[in-house]
Amino acid sequence: MTTNLDLNSIALRLKEQYGQVVFAEPDYLEVTAGALPHIAGYLKNTPGLDFDFLDMVTAADYTDRFELIYRLVSIKNNTVIALKVKCGRDRAEIPSLAGLWKGAQNQEREIYDLFGISFTGHPDMRRIVLWEGYEGHPLRKDFKEKAYDAGN
């Protein structure tokens, strides 16, 4: 079974390095958007942690903010860690992790497509499942489908 890491100790180590940007929660580490690439890079490259596999990236819309969830897996140590990033809804921008894990590319494009969160530094920030020129981002809670709502 994947072992649970002591999130508090990792958070302490990260705080030493990067300042007050990391907060340990019971299930995940909460990270500020600006510090995300540094912390992800630290988790990926530090011997002993070796989170070399980006399992999943996704987002959720909480009407007042977006929350992004990153799940990192260390295949070597069989451990899992979840990072959470909050960002405002009006100018949603998050640094991209596609430079660290190419596996993030398509998933970040999908989040951009469906939530409208743009990832700075992503090599190919375009819509992925919807077509070019589609208006709006469907998974936002305030999304209204034009044709659908016009009928009602």
Partner 1 sequence: MTLATEPFILNIGPLHPSTHGVFRMRVVLDGEIIQDVEPVFGYLHRGVEKLFEQRTYKQNIPLSDRLDYVSAINNNWPYVMAVEQLANISVPQRAEYLRVIMAELQRIASHLLAVGSVMNDMGIFFTAFMYMFREREKIVDLLEMVTGQRLLYNYMRFGGVSQDIPTEFLPALDRFLKVMPGYLDEYDTMLAGNEILLSRTKGIGVLKAETAINNSASGPLLRGSGVNWDLRKSAPYSVYDKFEFDVPLGTAGDCYDRYIIRMAEMRQSLRIIKQAVEQMPAGKEKTPTPLRLRPHAGETYTQVESPRGMLGCYLVSDGTEKPYRCHFRAPAFINLTVLKELLIGQKLADAIIIFGSIDISMGEVDR
The window from 10-18, 31-39, 87-95, 131-139 that contacts partner 1 (CB under 8 A) reads 131-139
The window from 16-24, 30-38, 71-79, 87-95 that contacts partner 1 (CB under 8 A) reads 71-79
Indicate which single residue of 17, 32, 46, 106 sits in contact with partner 1 (rule: CB under 8 A).
Answer: 106
Give the H/E segment covering residue 22: strand 22-24
CA distances from 54 to 100, 136, 151 (A): 9, 28, 42
- Judged by CB under 8 A, the chain residues 1 through 40 that form the site for partner 1 are 1-2
Nearer to partner 1, 20 or 152 (CB): 152
What sign for the dihedral angle of Cα 97, 22, 20, 44? negative
Q: Which residues contact 113 (CB under 8 A, 6 or more apart)?
A: 127, 128, 129, 130, 137
Binding residues (CB under 8 A) for partner 1: these are: 1-2, 52-56, 58, 60-61, 69, 71, 75, 78, 80, 82, 101-107, 110, 114, 127-131, 138-139
